[in-house]
Amino acid sequence: MSYSNFSIEFTIINDVNPLDAVVRAMNVLRRGKVTIRHITVDMSDSAIRVSVKASGEEDEVRWICNKLDKLYDIVNVKYMPEEVQPNKVVIRNG
């Protein structure tokens, strides 16, 4: 089992009761076998954009995205592995 960090992004239609759509999406995330590290929800007049940082197996992340995609108020879903950024070390002489 190989655990990796992923970024999941999806857009929800901002309809009559947008919080219901957000809660449905959060329930899908809760059921997935991943560790949620960070969630950002950006609500505007026309759409709700959700960004999730998660750690886990890619199969589980794919399962979450497939379930989210089946919700009727989700417009699009995508995920991608997060790039590991190496730390820079600067050593000066003198």
Quickly tell me which residue has 């197996």 as its tokens.
57
Give the predicted TM-score (pTM) of the model: 0.82
What is the distance between the alpha carbons of residues 13 and 21, in angstroms, rounded to a whole number? 8
What is the distance between the alpha carbons of residues 47 and 57, in angstroms, rounded to a whole number? 29
pLDDT at 92: 62
Domain ranges of the chain: 4-81
pLDDT at 40: 97
pLDDT per residue as tens digits for the range 5-47 = 999 999 999 887 888 999 999 999 999 999 999 999 999 888 9
Where is pLDDT greater, at 84 or 14?
Answer: 14
4-81: which CATH architecture?
2-Layer Sandwich (3.30)
